[in-house]
Amino acid sequence: MKAALENYQVRMQRVLDHIDQHLDDDLGLEALSGVAAFSKYHFHRQFTSTFGVSVHRYVQLARMKRASYRLAESDAQSVTDIAMDAGYDAPDAFARAFRQRFGQSPSSFRKSPDWGSWLVAFGPLEKARNTLMQIIFEHDDVTIRDVPTTPVAIMEHRGDRATLQDTIQRFIAWRKAAGLSPETSPTFNVFRSEREPAVPADYSMDICAGTDRPIEANDGQMKAGVIPGGRCAVLRYPGNTNNLEPAALYLYREWLPASGEEARDFPIYCQRHLSHFPEGPLREVVVELFLPLK
């Protein structure tokens, strides 16, 4: 029974991965049921019952999420091209759908994104990705590594996660202006609070870019700091990299007590390797979670 359930869940996860990696391809019912190896006559109900959202709706949201990033990130691609890539035959239809979902026109979002409404709009997408089976970690998935001290430029986010995207966009803009590519300057997130603290305003995270350049005053946005070197328990995260809480809970709740190790006085943090979404395809993101040890 357990093996059959795990097989079922693996096939469903394969569908989500396929959608994320093939947003420009045919993502109709027949194509996706083939990816899952389920009958096309039942797959739409199986998908909806598993994820709480229909296949069509999930694909729409995934394409719209990419479109919103493209609008906010650069003026290089026209709204018409972005609309076509999102699966709309005409920019007017895309604009209506976009306004209905975000309360802003595409051009208004491009100038000044309302990230609070954006987070609400993609709630069903994130719920679908996060409510599948828990990823099962094992003791052997964790390695202990001696990591070097890394000088970084830090942008602090303090306050409700609903405003986190604003901080991320300011960080990306600063990084581009500084010429620090994600491919050559490692990206770190230092988690100084829980993902969902009891008081939302207590959420705290540092977004960092590895660099040994002097950090110039930038309206108080950036400051110099370091990711301290030393022994760390390292867990490579294979799933949705927007929510690392399951991996962090595994390290604290199961791995650490069984290992006999003690945590060092520095927060848990992650490193995002290669280009990070939306600057590169989702499948290129590799995230490692570091738990500093004594």
Calculate the CA 234 to chain-centre distance.
19
DSSP state of 131: S
Q: Specify the 3-state DSSP secondary structure of 191.
A: strand
CATH, domain range 2-130: 1.10.10.60
Q: H-type helices in 193-281, by residue range?
A: 245-250, 256-259
The Cα–Cα gap between 143 and 235 comes to: 7
Calculate what percentage of the chain has a pLDDT beyond 70. 89
Average pLDDT over residues 282-288: 62
Instruction: Answer for the pair 98, 106: CB distance below 8 angstroms, yes or no.
Output: yes
Calculate what percentage of the chain has a pLDDT beyond 90. 29
pLDDT reported for residue 90: 86
Residue range 206-257, pLDDT digits in tens: 999 999 888 875 556 889 999 999 999 999 876 556 678 888 888 998 899 9
pLDDT reported for residue 277: 42
pLDDT reported for residue 5: 65
Residue carrying structure tokens 């604009």: 95
Decide: residue 149, CB within 10 A, 0-12 exposed, 13-18 middle, 19+ buried: exposed
Which has the minimum average pLDDT: 36-45, 88-97, 109-118, 186-195?
A: 109-118
Residue range 156-170, pLDDT digits in tens: 999 988 888 888 888
pLDDT reported for residue 189: 94
The Cα–Cα gap between 28 and 81 comes to: 21
Higher pLDDT, 236 or 116: 236
Looking at domain 139-292, its CATH superfamily turns out to be Regulatory factor, effector binding domain (3.20.80.10)
Domain spans of the chain, in order of start: 2-130, 139-292
Q: Which of 92-106, 230-244, 263-277 has the highest mean pLDDT?
A: 92-106
DSSP state of 201: G
Q: Which tokens is 159 given?
A: 């306050």
